[in-house]
């Protein structure tokens, strides 16, 4: 009976639109100079066609290289997180990264730590010249299982003979990050800085277990999210960490698929100075402000790809909160709305049940620096730019409900993209979160994840 119900249930699912169109070729000249990388199958995943190991190295001298990272604040931090934290704490000029997918190496005890260090040391030995503690580590996949470390170490040796710097090499590395992702998330761009052309490229992965809260190593700030950003800018290690912390708070820490924080969430940036810049960027300078803005915008671009590829997701939803007393207050309200199961299921059902939005926002009022005043709050749906009528649909204006055109609301909610705008009417600060709907398919994917 149960199997029969599942068959009937599966036929009722809405087909999730393909996301492969979001993966596009990138001109090789847009990728940062001085990086070589590859992706390959080493045997962590069952399918021989599934890439599961990436190796990324910077060939620039270590004295021109800076590294920075933000890590998960989950109490059960995975072995690769602990190892990468230790490496970065002792060496702000790490210049390589090794990543496996298919096994998270999380909650794996001392053996897991030994395996993560073995991966780091194996890549260190391949650097020119060989080094110690210059390779950071990422892992993603099933929690509580040990890595097939012999296969990974063999794969690292194989990968060292196939490192490249063109689009195909970057694409292979991005594919090796993937677990339940449906497309490789890879982007690159250029910008001018101090008279030099600077390049920035990045890849990330994530589709489920997405609600990051990451901060710098040893900081009290706040499926798995992994991200790597490379740039050929010349920047000091403290300035790079400061820029990344700012960028992550406004990008990766502002997305949610299902409200679950992973044990492995990690964002790493390596800057190798290969652009030709002569003086390193320092915090507090005009060049730093320009770099920080570019990095933040770039991180937001690749973070949004994770939401678009959310497990079972059909909607990409921007939650904008304006008129808050502080950025932190605006972000907390936006986060609460973005993680509400009732809001997310209404979005999936294309139901303009805006009372759920208000209920979510109101649930955190007492924790804000200034509590909400219901008589000042307004809520609107902002239609996708693809619609002929992009006039905001007002749902609530300063605490008074509007007479809602349900047919127009249905049209707005039927689009893949939409925005929920909440105006608090208290202050001048704002924040944005990006989220998705919650579908039957999400349950199916995560009910069978280990199989």
Binding site listing: 179, 205, 224, 311, 446, 451
Classified as helix, coil or strand, 351 is coil
**Whole-number Å distance between alpha carbons of 100 and 142:** 12
372 HSE (CA, 13 A, CB side): 26
224 as an active site residue: the answer is yes
Active-site residue among 224, 263, 318, 339?
224
Is 309:315 a contact under the CB 8 Å cutoff?
no
**Whole-number Å distance between alpha carbons of 9 and 321:** 37
Q: What is the DSSP string of 375-414?
A: GG-EEEEE--TTSS----EEEEETTEE----HHHHHHHHH
Burial (0-12, 13-18, 19+ Cβ within 10 Å), 415? middle
Q: 400-401 and 393-397 as β-strands: parallel, antiparallel, unpaired? A: antiparallel
Question: At a CB cut-off of 8 Å and minimum separation 6, what does 1 contact?
Answer: none
> H or E stretch including 268?
strand 266-271
**Whole-number Å distance between alpha carbons of 245 and 235:** 15
Is the alpha carbon torsion for 246, 247, 248, 249 positive or negative?
Answer: positive
Classified as helix, coil or strand, 174 is helix
Which residues are annotated binding-site positions for substrate?
179, 205, 224, 311, 446, 451
Is 395:353 a contact under the CB 8 Å cutoff?
no
**Whole-number Å distance between alpha carbons of 118 and 123:** 9
Is 310:320 a contact under the CB 8 Å cutoff?
no
Q: 214-215 and 266-271 as β-strands: parallel, antiparallel, unpaired? A: unpaired
Name the residue among 338, 51, 339 with its Cα closest to residue 205: 51
Is 115:80 a contact under the CB 8 Å cutoff?
no
> H or E stretch including 269?
strand 266-271
**Whole-number Å distance between alpha carbons of 229 and 100:** 17
So which residues are the catalytic ones?
Answer: 224
């Amino acid at each position: 009976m149960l199997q029969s119900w599942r068959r009937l249930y599966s036929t009722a699912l809405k087909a999730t639109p393909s996301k492969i169109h979001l993966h596009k070729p990138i001109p090789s000249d847009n990728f940062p100079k001085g990086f070589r990388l590859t992706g390959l199958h080493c045997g962590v995943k069952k399918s021989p066609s599934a890439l599961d190991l990436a190796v990324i190295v910077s060939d620039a001298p270590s004295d021109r290289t800076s590294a920075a990272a933000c890590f998960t604040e989950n109490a059960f931090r995975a072995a690769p997180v602990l190892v990468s934290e230790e490496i970065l704490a002792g060496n702000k000029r790490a210049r390589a990264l090794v990543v496996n997918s298919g096994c998270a190496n999380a909650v794996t005890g001392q053996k897991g730590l030994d395996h993560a260090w073995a991966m780091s040391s194996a890549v260190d030995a391949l650097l020119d010249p060989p080094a110690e503690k210059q390779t950071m580590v990422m892992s993603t996949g099933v929690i509580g299982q040990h890595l097939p470390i012999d296969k990974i170490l063999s794969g690292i040796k194989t990968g060292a003979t196939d490192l490249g710097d063109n689009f195909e090499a970057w694409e292979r590395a991005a594919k090796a990050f993937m677990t339940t992702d449906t497309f490789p998330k890879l982007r690159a761009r250029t910008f001018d800085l101090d008279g030099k052309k600077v390049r920035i490229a990045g890849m990330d992965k994530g589709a489920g277990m997405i609600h990051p809260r990451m901060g710098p190593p040893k900081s009290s700030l706040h499926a798995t999210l992994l991200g790597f950003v490379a740039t050929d800018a010349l920047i000091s290690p403290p300035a790079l960490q400061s820029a990344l912390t700012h960028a992550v708070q406004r990008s990766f820490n502002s997305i949610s698929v299902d409200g679950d924080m992973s044990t492995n969430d990690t964002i790493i940036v390596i800057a190798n100075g290969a652009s030709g810049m002569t003086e390193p960027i320092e915090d507090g300078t005009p060049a730093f402000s320009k770099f920080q803005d570019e990095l933040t915008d770039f991180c937001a671009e690749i973070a949004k790809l994770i939401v678009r590829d959310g497990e079972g997701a059909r909607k990409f939803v921007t939650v904008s909160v304006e008129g808050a007393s502080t950025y932190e207050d605006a972000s907390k309200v936006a986060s609460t709305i973005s993680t509400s199961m009732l809001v997310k299921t209404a979005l999936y059902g294309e139901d303009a049940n805006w009372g759920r939005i208000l209920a979510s926002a109101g649930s955190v009022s007492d924790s804000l620096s200034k509590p909400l005043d219901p008589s000042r709050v307004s809520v609107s749906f902002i239609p996708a730019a693809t619609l002929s009528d992009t006039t905001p649909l007002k749902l609530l204006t300063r605490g008074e409900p509007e007479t809602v055109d349900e047919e127009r609301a249905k049209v707005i909610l039927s689009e893949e993209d939409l925005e929920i705008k909440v105006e608090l009417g208290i202050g001048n600060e704002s924040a944005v979160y990006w989220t998705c709907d919650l579908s039957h398919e999400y349950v199916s994917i995560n009910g069978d994840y280990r199989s």
